[in-house]
Structure 1
Amino acid sequence: MAYLKEIIQWCDQTLSASAFKDYAPNGLQIEGKTEVNKILCAVSASQTAVDAAIAQGADLLLAHHGYFWKGEAYPITGMRGKRIKALIKNDISLVGYHLPLDSHPSLGNNAAIADLLELERIEALDPSERHPIGNIGYLKQPMSPEQFKAFASEKLGFDTIHLPADKTEILKVGFCTGGAQDYIHKAAEQHCDAYISGEVSERTFYEAQELNVHYYACGHHATEKYGVQRLAKAISEQFNIEYSYFELNNPI
């Protein structure tokens, strides 16, 4: 058993949450029980994740994509209202960490991608950022664009979309998980051979060609399902409480 307040304080400090200007609040979003015995983590706090937390008797739902995003309507109604009502009714806390969980050098989504793709010599995609949201890494040996597509698809369990450039060899790889396709410009500025993110836009096709950076869309969900698991495991070890991961395989 651990106290909710202690868990939040530890997470906020560990992830340097206050250092990020984000699109949603990081940390405690909905307050439930004072004491926490079990955590369920999920990429997104969807209704199915909420239902799983209830079914498993979790006291805390930990998500990368929580609620209260900028630009959303204020009234708590409809789909979001149903989710929040279920959490409050069952006294379950919702805790969400977005950019801080992308950025963390060991617990973060980008760190996990670097490990999975066996990238070395990790550095910031944008050297001006104190807490880099994206990163650059180097393959152990060069690959052809086609080899790298197959490699990324296998390691991330996703049918990767490849938007080709002219380069015949890939060694230096920029990457930022989720919906960061527009960071391909930063990858070009850093002379990357390839750039990885989760999603893709129509404009990305032309940008890959004109910036001469191979683009690989590896899935928003597929690239961001690791951070919450790493964080939940770290919380579990720090406070000696149980955790589990809820997987709803989102094909996007």
Structure 2
Amino acid sequence: MNSPESSVSRDVLLSAFDDLLQPAAFKDYGPNGLQVEGKKEIRSVVSGVTASLALIDAAIEVGADALFVHHGLFWRGQDGRVTGWMKQRLARLLAHEINLFAYHLPLDAHLTLGNNAQLARHLGIHWVGAEPVRFGEQSLGFLGVRAERSAATLALWVEQQLGRPVTLIAPNDQPIERVALCTGGAQGYFEAAIAAGAEVFITGEISEPQAHYARECGVAYIACGHHASERYGAPAVAAHVASQLGIAHQFIDIPNPA
């Protein structure tokens, strides 16, 4: 981690994240923002995908004062008891006074720094106009263009860029251009992507129905891994805010085959 140039208060950092990501605009599956309170003054922040024990321990190792993640600790419908894995994670955070900031759907949706925008940038998917065509619930899905000889050649490109195998359902072998994407577990957005005019849909996961929809609708489907598709938004946002505030930032990727 780079040496911190200064420190900021926890409230200032929280306001910076909120101002950028606008969490109040989303109906989400858990609380966005500060999930665990730590030190009042923050000199360094570590970003990552999920607030796992491995990421928390890595943040402790590098002396971070705050964690910024996509998948936090608390979700709607959870049991609520602080036992087992939850107790272990909270105990580490509290013992070392590490602030935990988590943003779920707001991080997916940000037009330039979010998971969808950053995955599109990484894969060379461009917008027809100034912004992507949006689709799906809360307009989380993005539609852009990348010309390829076939969905199979696009799938190979995605594998090369993300460094992992993908699942491809390609009902035909023909040129494609209109590419829809929504990172993570967005298989339920496939029908909305088809309605928006996509010729191929990229997301993290696939469930049983999507293979049939792809074959019957003639639209290709690429599942590239939940974690792999969401590695880019958290470091982009955290680096942007850290640079604005003059504090140190480091992205730590904890490998995940899912």
TM-score class normalised by the smaller sequence: over 0.9
Partner of 1:123: 132
Partner Cα separation in structure 2 for residue 87 and residue 107 of structure 1: 26
One-letter amino acid matched to 1:177: T
Unaligned regions of 5+ residues in structure 2, if any?
Answer: 1-6
Matches within 5 A, 1:88-237: 88-120=94-126, 121=128, 122-126=131-135, 129=138, 132-139=139-146, 141-166=147-172, 168-237=174-243
Partner Cα separation in structure 2 for residue 154 and residue 143 of structure 1: 16
1:43 and 2:49 matched: yes
Unaligned regions of 5+ residues in structure 1, if any?
Answer: none
Moved over 6 A (4+): none
- Two-structure CA RMSD over aligned residues (Å): 1.4
Name the SS of the counterpart of 2:17 in structure 1.
Answer: helix
Partner Cα separation in structure 2 for residue 157 and residue 17 of structure 1: 31
One-letter amino acid matched to 1:180: A
Shift of 1:75: 1.2
One-letter amino acid matched to 1:137: G
Shift of 1:151: 1.1
Name the SS of the counterpart of 1:191 in structure 2.
Answer: coil
CA contact (8 A) 2:171 2:214 kept: yes
Answer 1 or 2: higher relative contact order, Cα 8 Å, separation at least 6: 2
CA contact (8 A) 1:42 1:63 kept: yes
Partner Cα separation in structure 2 for residue 21 and residue 173 of structure 1: 26
Give a deviation string over 1:20-68, Cα, whole Å, max 9, x none. Answer: 1000111000000000011111100000011111111111011110011
Aligned to 1:248, which of 226, 235, 254? 254
Scaled by the length of structure 1, what TM-score is found? 0.95
Name the SS of the counterpart of 2:240 in structure 1.
Answer: helix
Alignment coverage as a number of residue pairs: 249
1:22 and 2:28 matched: yes
Scaled by the length of structure 2, what TM-score is found? 0.93
Shift of 1:125: 3.4
1:64 and 2:70 matched: yes
Partner Cα separation in structure 2 for residue 246 and residue 15 of structure 1: 21
Name the SS of the counterpart of 1:13 in structure 2.
Answer: helix
Partner of 1:53: 59
Q: Percent identity?
A: 37
CA contact (8 A) 2:136 2:192 kept: no
Shift of 1:188: 1.0
Partner Cα separation in structure 2 for residue 8 and residue 165 of structure 1: 46
